[in-house]
Amino acid sequence: MRKCVNTLAAGCLALASAAPATADVGSRLWATGGVTSIEGSAGGGLSPWALLNGYASDEEWGGTVTVSQAKTDDYSLSVTGAGVTWQNRIELTFARQTLDLDSLVFTLKNGFGLEEDELVQDVVGLKVRLAGDVLYSPWGQWSAGLQHKQNREYTVPEAIGSEDDTGTDFYIGGSKLFFAAIAGRNLLVNGTVRATKANQGGLLGFGGDKNNSYEAMAEGSVSLFLTRQWLVGAEYRQKPDNLSFATEDDWWDVFIAWVPDRRVSVTAAWVNLGDIATLKDQTGAYLSLQASF
């Protein structure tokens, strides 16, 4: 875990140096670009929000670069990503996820003869702001998006019953900031509905012997601004259950985010991913660093 933190700290310095102190990072208000989800889209750690990344207003370009790491009892997930936003209307993102699964390979080796020690997935995202504004519209901001996912390593997903190595999630989400909602502090509420057939977010392929059709999954989060620079909150993400090989549990987390500057944010979380591919109770720490430009 110390190695992970040191790597991410180095990444943070690199991200910060990539955005010079004199750089214009857009006109939108503080923290209105969210952070970056594990799939590259602007949002929380687990789920995309209706917000678009960066600070670009209606007449500007903006974007982000990010590095993230999650470490549970038996798995380690690393994510690198980048995104651009045009005129606070269209967001394009890319993320590469690498899942270290030494424990799973050891568990499956006798039954399947597997030797791969990691899974790699690329995620290309598109999000479009449909209507509203997170701050001033009475019904908040609404966006629709898709995430096209491609497994670069498919031996393990295929062995456990996945039907496909590519898939596309579709989602619609709403975000609303309530001013002085709790003890005079602002509250950000987000809700998303995702159509998906991804197994463990797509890292274990798409569809399976129990189900190979799209299902609608609910996701949500709340974030409370303790100050302008500090946020605390929680997320929940419902998951499909497509494989007879192992039951798939929903995900949730509690997090704290620090936004010391419009150019940099740091998010730490405690995540509960449930059982993953027969390995029980996967809980652990998550850290994400983001630079905006």
Report pLDDT for 14: 45
| Cα separation values, 228 from 10, 30, 177, 207, 239, Å | 25, 7, 13, 42, 33
* 241 Cα distance to chain centroid: 20
pTM for this predicted structure = 0.88
pLDDT in tens, 46-93: 999 999 988 877 878 888 999 999 999 888 999 999 999 999 899 999
* CATH code, domain with 170: 2.40.160.40
Categorize the per-residue pLDDT at 13 as very low, low, confident or very high, splitting at 50, 70 and 90. very low
- Residue 93 lies in domain: 2-292
Asked if residue 231 lies in contact with residue 221, where contact means CB atoms within 8 angstroms, the answer is: no
Mean pLDDT in the chain? 87
Check whether 8 has a pLDDT greater than 90. no
Return d(Cα 139, Cα 229) in angstroms, integer: 25
Asked if residue 88 lies in contact with residue 46, where contact means CB atoms within 8 angstroms, the answer is: no
Query: How many distinct structural domains can be found in the chain?
Result: 1
pLDDT in tens, 237-286: 999 999 998 899 999 999 999 998 888 999 999 999 999 888 899 999 99
Return d(Cα 27, Cα 55) in angstroms, integer: 6
